[in-house]
Structure 1
Amino acid sequence: MSYQALYRVWRPQRFDDVIGQDVITTTLKNAIITNQLSHAYLFAGPRGTGKTSAAKILAKAINCPNKQNGEPCNECDICKSITNGTLNDVIEIDAASNNGVEEIREVRDKAKYAPTEAEYKVYIIDEVHMLSTGAFNALLKTLEEPPAHVIFILATTEPQKIPATIISRVQRFDFRRITSKDILDRMEFILKQKNMDYDDNALKVIAKSAEGGMRDALSILDQVLSFGSDHVTYENALQVTGSVTKTVMTKYLYCVIQHDVKSALMNVQDILKEGKDASRFIEDLINYCQDILLYQQSPEMVESAELGIIDDDFKSLAKQINDQVIYKMINQLNDVQSQMRYTMHPDVYLDVLTVKLSSNYDIKNESNDDNAELKQQIQHLNEQVSSLNDQINQLNSGKIKQPTIEQQTVPKQRTEKINKTKVKTSNKGERVNLSKVYPVLDNATRENLNNLQNIWDELLQSLDVTQRAMMHVSKPVAASSNGVIVSFEYPFLFQKANSDTELSDALENGMDRILGYVPKIVFVPSDRWPEIRKDYLVNRKNNHKESENNNDSEHSTIEKNEEKHDNNVENNPDDSEIVKKAKDMFGDGIINLKND
């Protein structure tokens, strides 16, 4: 028999063999055990995460006469036929090449006939999002009123392209990306079964390069085995994946932030001479910068994601470099990555990028350069405050005369200037544009917020991988018909999202497609959101009180005292209105009234 690729040989044949999708496999097994099968399923998720494999296992499990605990026996004729793809009652259709109305009408017509060998006739439609609008309409009627002996399993990598009318008629299972740790464990198991030696770091490089796809990981492992004559070494893995070692990237970044342009350019030339892909080098640098940011916030998270491949040089660099430097680096790396897609001379872009990075950044005090003028002002104000304190002490001791009114205004102005400076400094880390937040809150309703929360997962699915990862720690907290406020759990991600116009455009385009209108998006850090919300409600209450006082200035003192004496909500229109506004925006469940 001819050689078969690893991902074909080691394709899962039982639910327990499917890696990283425990919730999905457990649900399907329980449905088979309790005989609660649906007539249609939708398996959605990134490539190589087990969608088609799970569909075949499900087809075997529901038709296997010897199934145990929801698992197929893989020994009977039906299981073997489905595994080999020879059973007439299990039909696989590639929607990418069979996406017309006629093909789906043929499926609809043949679905009426009873299965010949198995108990159920199963249709597995792969890449179902490629079907035309007419084909979806032809499939819709069958999904709405299916024959009792037919089960449809739809698989797709882009569920956002499937009409809502189809999704509402199926059970949807979202396959998530497989963690690098699970991929690593699976590759170790396979190599041990094949009695092959391997380098742990080599498998870690492959697991990281697979980006959550088990099939991709096994394909890369196949290449490494071929390249190294059945030897899996760290160097071979780097050669096949085109990756650059952490040591090389650390050395390159050290040269960049120390303004050593010559050494940085030499590093680039050495990398290209070794046959490394320029685009892959940029991608590795972006991931490396991301790891630095995350390590500064949560070292344990990075150590888990990088499978322990973190050396002392990386830790030292993460402690020394400023996060503002990393933000700017990532922006420039993204720009160059987009430009390199259309060039035949990537080495030129790498050289220009290296010169720019080496010329702009300081290893530790990038943000200090931006604040230099402010620090000088603060120092000058501190000196003035010290001088004023001396004058006050002299006044108290009677050594000098008390200053006149004109002289007293000077310290007051200086004090106000000091206070303003302090406020500006304290808020510099997380700038929130309240002029955009308050208009949204003025018209915010709970209904608008509920509508947005209901489509939030679908909206995130329309983003690319990088944007979806950033928005994973965000959620809408207030919404009106014209705007939405989105909070972020981590301040550094809030700052990054706030400056990412492409992310805002992608979100607005998604909402336009799903909701039919485009609300303006305002980002806020989650730890600041309660304070912002409280300040808004207090300001609204105070403004209303000022208006009421102006309108009621003609009332008598007795009437005002009577109103003040009555503590009921009906006699406090300012309180009732602000409570009503808060309930409209945030719902009754989270509003707690307390008397002052």
Structure 2
Amino acid sequence: MSYQALYRVWRPQVFEDVVGQKHVTKTLQNALLQQKITHAYLFTGPRGTGKTSAAKILAKAVNCRNRGDSAEPCNDCDICKGITDGSNPDVIEIDAASNNGVEEIRDIRDKVKYAPSVSTYKVYIIDEVHMLSIGAFNALLKTLEEPPKHVIFILATTEPHKIPLTIISRCQRFDFKRIPHQAIAERMRYIIDDYGYEYEEEALQMIARASEGGMRDALSLLDQTISFGQEGITVNDALVITGSVSQSILNDIAKAILEKNPQSALELLHSLLAEGKDPVRIVEDFIQYYRDLLLYKNSPTMQDYLERVIVDSEFEQICEQYDIDFVYEIIDRFNKVQQEMKWTNHPRILLEVCFVQLCQNNFSTQHTVSDEKVLQLEQKITFLEEQLQQLKVNGIQAPTQQEEAAPAKKARPSKKGFRAPVGKIENVLAKATKQNLQLIKGNWGSILEKLKRSHAALLNDAEPVAASELGCVVSFKYEIHCQMAMNNHEFVNIMNSLLYQTSGHQMELIGVPEEQWQELRESFLSQHRDLLKEKNQSKTEGDPLIEEAKKLFGEDLIEIRD
């Protein structure tokens, strides 16, 4: 292909061309001048900020034949030209995303001991180094710590947190920052002037902001805009390519919100959506717009820090009409909508509702209402103080602080544990049947599967022990689990519903700790046994057949049935 993308043609070839990373380039230049080149470097930062470009420039600088006392490569000698076009065998670029195995790193470890063929230093540039496997990192570790004197490692990554600390501690780390949009715009202006294209300044600012601090992204967008436009680089072309909203429409919608005109705001919004604008991007533009409005309203001299707005007479008039509290509310609303858009399939509807709310809500009246409430409370306090003073005059003393505190001590909640409802359990036991209990136990697994994981966890150490048409008694191994379950109203309601679906009766879930269950069961059985014994004695007194049976088998072994 004869045509090359702008970001490839204008890739930095000297440190001075690396935009927005002065803290990195200055340190590397001083190290070259002082001959303090170390054996391993780690370049980290967002995409398109110059990490690989700086690595190549450093590789050229340490091997350049004509550098002399300069800190920049000459780019004219055979070494510099070979590194630039990728033909130098001593500068090896490795993409760790596709060469992340142990074997590839072992191959480097085996070849690193051989001296460079044409250059002074053999330079290994490993891009996206965080993609290496743990085994590959371990294979690289010893070589990285003590490589031969003729080898330099330069590691580049966008995600340094994925790199083992043992690797990071063996490198000099340089953090590349996002490039300010003003610096990106200045670099694009330099490139466009070199080609002789006509451009609008606002279009460059728009592309620079859309690149989010990455020079490569900015040049790619600029390349697209140049191809799209026919008469230079215009704002409309930049709007189409970046998907942004023009400042004039932002101003018109801001006016509609001020005038409480939802019809005008929605018409403008629908015109943006009809052009194919993304609702998420529209919200992002409005957040930045009102952020700039707030910043300019508080500090008009800080225009260099505005990210979305170019200050003109129209924008200044809008700033004067907006109240700061209203701007706070608008930014808060847009932030909430932005979060909600992540979880909805209808972002357009959310955005329309937000615009209508912003146009209809009168925030100033809300503040007035709150002031009125405060005034009403003050009046009530004054009235109560007068009543209290009147009571004192009549001989009734108000309670002192100590007297008021005394009942509070008595009202402390009891530290006793959970107590099961004895009456309900005895009612269930009185009418309990084996069939009901077996029905619940047989479907217990399916009941647990229908519960949420947090609810099912409460029943890990629990089992049904008695059941009737009135309710189901569940024994919990631990008292704290029983208390947590029975105090969870949502859990109890769901369990009651599932018990009804299983049994066909309105059964109530009744929880009881295991220790209390044993006591209640023994107490109920003993009472039941005594009542049955008294009933049998009253029925059989004077019956000679039963008296004879008692003599033969004993009273305890005889059960009398009608």
TM-score of the superposition, structure 2-length normalised? 0.64
Partner residue in 1 for 2:416: none
Deviates more, 1:364-373 or 1:90-99: 364-373
CA distance in 2, matches of 1:225, 1:320: 40
Partner residue in 2 for 1:330: 334
CA distance in 1, matches of 2:129, 2:6: 26
Cα deviation for residue 253 of structure 1 reads 3.9
Q: Which digits, 9 at most, give the CA deviation of each residue in 1:411-467, with x for residues without a partner?
A: 9x9xxxxxxxxxxxxxxxxxxxxxxxxxxxxxxxxxxxxxxxxxxxxxxxxxxxxxx
Query: Where do 1:191-590 residues align within 5 Å?
Result: 191-229=192-230, 231-256=232-257, 259-301=260-302, 303-306=304-307, 309-310=310-311, 311-316=315-320, 318-319=322-323, 321-339=325-343, 343=345, 346-358=347-359, 361-378=361-378, 380=379, 405-406=392-393
Cα 1:403–1:349 shift into 2, 3 Å = closer
CA distance in 2, matches of 1:154, 1:127: 8
Q: Which digits, 9 at most, give the CA deviation of each residue in 1:322-343, with x for residues without a partner?
A: 2541353133222233135xx4
Partner residue in 2 for 1:70: 71
Q: Which has the larger radius of gyration?
A: 2
Cα deviation for residue 350 of structure 1 reads 2.9
Q: Conserved in 1, the CA contact under 8 Å of 2:43 and 2:157?
A: yes
Q: Conserved in 2, the CA contact under 8 Å of 1:303 and 1:309?
A: no
Q: Conserved in 1, the CA contact under 8 Å of 2:32 and 2:62?
A: yes
CA distance in 1, matches of 2:231, 2:166: 50
Cα deviation for residue 304 of structure 1 reads 2.8
Partner residue in 2 for 1:11: 11
CA distance in 2, matches of 1:30, 1:22: 12
CA distance in 2, matches of 1:218, 1:410: 82
Q: Which digits, 9 at most, give the CA deviation of each residue in 1:81-137, with x for residues without a partner?
A: 111111111011111111111111111111121111111110111111111111111
Amino acid across the alignment from 1:25: T
Q: Conserved in 1, the CA contact under 8 Å of 2:51 and 2:156?
A: yes
Q: Conserved in 2, the CA contact under 8 Å of 1:181 and 1:307?
A: no
Query: Where do 1:110-189 residues align within 5 Å?
Result: 110-189=111-190
Cα deviation for residue 230 of structure 1 reads 5.7
Amino acid across the alignment from 2:15: F
Q: Conserved in 1, the CA contact under 8 Å of 2:333 and 2:354?
A: no
CA distance in 1, matches of 2:286, 2:190: 31
Q: Conserved in 1, the CA contact under 8 Å of 2:337 and 2:351?
A: no
Partner residue in 2 for 1:466: none
CA distance in 2, matches of 1:324, 1:410: 49
Cα deviation for residue 15 of structure 1 reads 0.4
Q: Conserved in 2, the CA contact under 8 Å of 1:91 and 1:122?
A: yes
State how many pairs are aligned: 394
Cα deviation for residue 351 of structure 1 reads 2.7
Query: Where do 1:102-117 residues align within 5 Å?
Result: 102-117=103-118
Amino acid across the alignment from 1:133: I
CA distance in 2, matches of 1:322, 1:291: 14
Q: Conserved in 1, the CA contact under 8 Å of 2:40 and 2:171?
A: yes
CA distance in 2, matches of 1:169, 1:254: 57
Partner residue in 2 for 1:29: 29
- Specify the SS of the correspondent of 2:156: strand
Amino acid across the alignment from 2:320: S
Q: Which digits, 9 at most, give the CA deviation of each residue in 1:363-415, with x for residues without a partner?
A: 5454444454124434x379879x99xxxxxxxxxxxxx9894489999x9xx
Cα 1:35–1:410 shift into 2, 3 Å = farther
Cα deviation for residue 300 of structure 1 reads 3.8
CA distance in 2, matches of 1:20, 1:132: 32
Cα deviation for residue 318 of structure 1 reads 4.5
- Specify the SS of the correspondent of 1:107: helix
Q: Conserved in 2, the CA contact under 8 Å of 1:43 and 1:174?
A: yes
CA distance in 2, matches of 1:165, 1:253: 53
| 5+ long unaligned stretches in structure 1 | 389-401, 414-596
- Specify the SS of the correspondent of 2:271: helix
CA distance in 2, matches of 1:63, 1:327: 53
CA distance in 2, matches of 1:106, 1:225: 44
Q: Which digits, 9 at most, give the CA deviation of each residue in 1:533-556, with x for residues without a partner?
A: xxxxxxxxxxxxxxxxxxxxxxxx
Amino acid across the alignment from 1:325: E
Q: Conserved in 1, the CA contact under 8 Å of 2:125 and 2:155?
A: yes
CA distance in 1, matches of 2:188, 2:164: 37
Partner residue in 1 for 2:47: 47
Amino acid across the alignment from 2:81: K
Cα 1:269–1:330 shift into 2, 3 Å = closer
- Specify the SS of the correspondent of 1:182: helix
Partner residue in 2 for 1:459: none
CA distance in 2, matches of 1:15, 1:236: 32
CA distance in 2, matches of 1:140, 1:408: 88
- Specify the SS of the correspondent of 1:35: coil
TM-score of the superposition, structure 1-length normalised? 0.61
- Specify the SS of the correspondent of 1:285: helix
Partner residue in 2 for 1:56: 56
Q: Conserved in 2, the CA contact under 8 Å of 1:293 and 1:326?
A: no
- Specify the SS of the correspondent of 2:94: strand
Q: Conserved in 1, the CA contact under 8 Å of 2:40 and 2:152?
A: yes
Q: Conserved in 2, the CA contact under 8 Å of 1:49 and 1:177?
A: yes
Cα 1:39–1:129 shift into 2, 3 Å = same
Q: Conserved in 1, the CA contact under 8 Å of 2:243 and 2:281?
A: yes
Q: Conserved in 2, the CA contact under 8 Å of 1:324 and 1:367?
A: no
Deviates more, 1:347-356 or 1:106-115: 347-356
Amino acid across the alignment from 1:173: F
- Specify the SS of the correspondent of 1:197: coil
Q: Conserved in 2, the CA contact under 8 Å of 1:32 and 1:70?
A: yes
Cα 1:370–1:162 shift into 2, 3 Å = farther
CA distance in 2, matches of 1:230, 1:116: 51
- Specify the SS of the correspondent of 1:322: helix
Q: Conserved in 2, the CA contact under 8 Å of 1:257 and 1:362?
A: no
Amino acid across the alignment from 1:206: I
Cα deviation for residue 290 of structure 1 reads 2.9
- Specify the SS of the correspondent of 2:76: coil
Amino acid across the alignment from 1:182: A
Amino acid across the alignment from 1:271: L
Q: Conserved in 1, the CA contact under 8 Å of 2:92 and 2:123?
A: yes
Partner residue in 2 for 1:570: none
